[in-house]
Copies of this chain bind each other. A is one copy, B any other.
Amino acid sequence: MLTTDTVPKLAGRSLEIDGRTVQITGLAKGAAMIGPNMATMLAVILTDAVIDPQSAQRMLASATDDTFNCISVEGHVSTNDSVVLLANGASGSDVSTGRAKDLFTTGLCHVCEDLARAIPSDGEGATHLITIEIHGCANREDARRIAKTVANSPLVKTAIAGADPNWGRIVSAAGYAGVQFDPMMVSLHVNGLLLYERGVPVPFDGAKVSQSIRDHRDTSIVLLFSEGSSSARFWTSDLTAEYVRLNADYHT
């Protein structure tokens, strides 16, 4: 595997908890063989909070589920990846229970999300970080499955690389995710612009959407369903000829 990390993956939050300042600092590496479930990826998160190992493990598992397990570069799961949380207690602030726990958990999720997003943003050959938001599903697992299927479609990923507002590829990827939904209630926004509403493509300014994709490294895909109130987010990179070059030219 080539290591092509080109961006420092650092994130941190400073929290005020019960009159004390608690620091959370994280660092990560990884740009390829990135699929949810984890990947050729390392992340270490440091904090001066006081926290017992069981609570730390639970908080980290939960934060990882919504962040590091919601990213992909090419969807190829790796055999080795780790997220580690180290706490030395130097702040004297115990965050294992109560309101302190809630504050710390939120901060930890923010740090994990910053690091997780940085990985596909720096994905091999990537020119876009694509954020896929799914709303209105019956449960979180359904929402996440749709998000992941859209994220791993090479046709969606090449469309974004080419700044093509190709609603058909996005909607059809959602359609083969294996989740039941009413297709006549599906709507789609790309970069905040409505492309598809209640099962039907709407007239939109294709040149404007293309320009918006071209002008921003971040691309937003939002799919709305009417099956319930569950949501999921997923981050992936686009698929470029440079990705293929990096992975076809590299020899073991």
Contact = CB atoms under 8 A, between A and B. Distances in A.
A79 B33 contact: no
Interface string A188-213: 00000000000000000010001000
Contacts of A245: 241
A4 to B, nearest CB: 14
A33 B250 CA distance: 27
B176 A37 contact: yes
Interface residues of A, number: 43
Interface string A30-58: 00110101000000000000000000000
A231 interface: no
A175 B250 CA distance: 22
Interface stretch (A20-28, A97-105, A107-115, A166-174): A166-174
Interface stretch (A7-15, A131-139, A140-148, A150-158): A150-158
A239 B168 CA distance: 22
A76 B206 contact: no
A215 interface: no
Contacts of A232: none
A206 B252 contact: yes
Interface string A59-86: 0000000000000001111110000000
9 contacts: A35-B176, A75-B153, A76-B155, A77-B172, A158-B248, A161-B248, A162-B249, A162-B251, A241-B244
Interface of A: 32-33, 35, 37, 74-79, 152-156, 158-159, 161-162, 164-169, 172-173, 175-176, 206, 210, 239-241, 243-245, 247-252
